Amino acid sequence: MGWVTGLVPGGRENLNDFLIIVDRFSESVRFITCHKEDTAMDTALLLWNNIISTCGGPKIIISHKDPKFTSESWTNLYDMLGTKLELSGAYHSQTDGLAERMMIQTMEDIIRRFCAYVM
């Protein structure tokens, strides 16, 4: 999981970030619009409403060392789901994988160009 940040706010809710979730099993990617100011609880609710409620809980979550993923609310969510958290450095090849990094970077470029064009 990671974020595309620093976008021009848009839409009725002035969303300015994307939460990116890559499913290694299905090789699918989900882009969930959010606010840069979202708290750890807001982010946990985004994951619950957009992923866990439809696909079930993951066995492992690999994310960057963001305080949102290491907060008490997330620790409780991991315990409830039986999910293991693995933290990585940003773009660490052993956990992110080259293909995922390339896909995320490509999608980030596309989103930034689209937002710049539309706004």
Task: State pLDDT tens for residues 13-53.
Answer: 888 888 888 887 887 888 898 998 999 899 889 999 998 88
- Domain 2-118: CATH superfamily is Ribonuclease H-like superfamily/Ribonuclease H (3.30.420.10)
pLDDT given at position 75: 86
Q: How far apart are CA 104 and CA 2, in angstroms?
A: 9
Q: Where are the domains of the chain?
A: 2-118
Overall average pLDDT of the 108-117 stretch: 74
What pLDDT sits at residue 42? Answer: 92
* Dist. CA 22–CA 60, nearest whole Å: 12
Question: Exposed, middle or buried, 74 (CB in 10 Å: 0-12/13-18/19+)?
Answer: buried
pLDDT at 115 over 60: yes
The predicted pLDDT at position 46 comes to 92
Residues 48-105 pLDDT 10s:
999 888 888 888 888 877 788 888 888 888 888 898 888 776 555 555 565 466 667 7
The b/e string for 24-36 (b: 16+ C-beta within 10 A; e otherwise) is eeeeeebebbbee
pLDDT at res. 112: 75
Pairwise CA distance, residues 88 & 101, whole Å: 13
* Amino acid residing at 93: S
The residue ranking higher by pLDDT, 118 or 107, is: 107
For 46-58, the DSSP string reads HHIIIIIHHH---
- What local confidence, expressed as pLDDT, does residue 102 receive? 61
Characterize the bridge pairing of strands 17-23 and 2-4. Answer: antiparallel
